[in-house]
Each structure stands twice: as C-alpha cells, then as structure tokens.
C-alpha cells in the first residue's frame, strides 16, 4: 500500500531532479543507472527471505534474532566504524536495554505462571 502512495511522489521527485540537472539516474554512466534500477530488487530479496524463514521458525527464535540484530549493529558501529559513544548515547542505550530486560522478565514470569495454571488444570481434570 505504501508503494502506491509513495510512487507518485518518487516519480515527481525524479522528474524535478532531471529537469533541474540534479538527477544522477542517466548522467553517471550505465553502472550507476543499473545499480539504481536494481536497488529495489536488491532490497526486496533479503526481506522476502526473512519473511519466508520467519514463517518456518518458532516465535522464540525470531524474538532472539530480534535481540541479536541491534547488538551486532552496535558492535560493528563501535569496532569497525569507530562510532563515538557520547554519554547521552550511553544513557539511551542503557534505557533501551533496561526496557528489554524488564520485558524479558515479565515474559518469563507470565510463561511460568501460565505453566503452573496449565499443570493445575490438568491435575484437577484427571
């Protein structure tokens, strides 16, 4: 749906950039053109693979992967790109991880409580 909404805006932007001479689609050689033309497919293929695999994996595995992605991005930012971590970034990072910790603890508490309820229901039914 968002493609239908944004396609006219993107098309108008490309026309304006082309008319003002700021567009690069046809002016930087065929390699640049084909890279831009293929960028949608290059972006969509990994998303399609993720969507297909997400249907086949248990939700607990997907949840764990959702934890790993930002952690790996953080490590790459610090170790590879030498991103500066100012105190305000550390505070934000800490708040996010505190929230994740609280969410995980609540999820574990709820799962344990539901397990006890299911056990007692099975014992009383027997």
- The domain ranges of the chain are 1-56, 58-126
pLDDT score, position 126: 66
Place of tokens 């890279």: 35
Single pTM value for the model? 0.50
Cα–Cα distance measured from residue 34 to residue 25, given in angstroms and rounded to the nearest whole number: 9
**Tokens, residue 27:** 């002016």
Average model confidence (pLDDT) across the chain: 88
pLDDT score, position 76: 95
Place of tokens 């695999």: 53
95: exposed, middle or buried (C-beta count within 10 Å: 0-12, 13-18, 19+)? exposed
Cα–Cα distance measured from residue 80 to residue 94, given in angstroms and rounded to the nearest whole number: 21
Residues in the chain predicted with pLDDT less than 50, given as ranges, are none
Contact 49, 41 (CB under 8 A): no
Query: For 64, how many CA atoms within 13 A lie in the half-sphere containing its CB?
Result: 5
Helices marked H in 1-126: 2-20, 30-56, 59-79, 87-125
**Tokens, residue 126:** 């027997």
CA angle, 53 then 54 then 57, to 5°:
85
Contact 62, 81 (CB under 8 A): no
pLDDT digits (tens, 9 = 90+) for 63-96: 878 878 888 898 999 999 999 999 999 999 899 8
């Amino acid at each position: 749906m968002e493609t239908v909404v944004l396609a006219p805006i993107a098309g108008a932007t490309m026309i304006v950039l082309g008319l003002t001479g700021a567009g690069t689609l046809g002016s930087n050689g065929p390699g640049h053109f084909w890279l831009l033309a293929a960028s949608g497919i290059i972006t969509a293929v990994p998303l399609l693979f993720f969507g297909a695999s997400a249907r086949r994996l248990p939700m607990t595995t997907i949840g764990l992967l959702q934890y790993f992605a930002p952690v790996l991005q953080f490590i790459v930012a610090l170790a590879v790109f030498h991103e500066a971590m100012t105190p305000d970034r550390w505070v934000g990072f800490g708040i996010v991880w505190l929230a994740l910790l609280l969410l995980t603890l609540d999820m574990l508490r709820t799962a344990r409580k539901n397990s006890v309820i299911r056990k007692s229901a099975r014992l009383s039914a027997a």
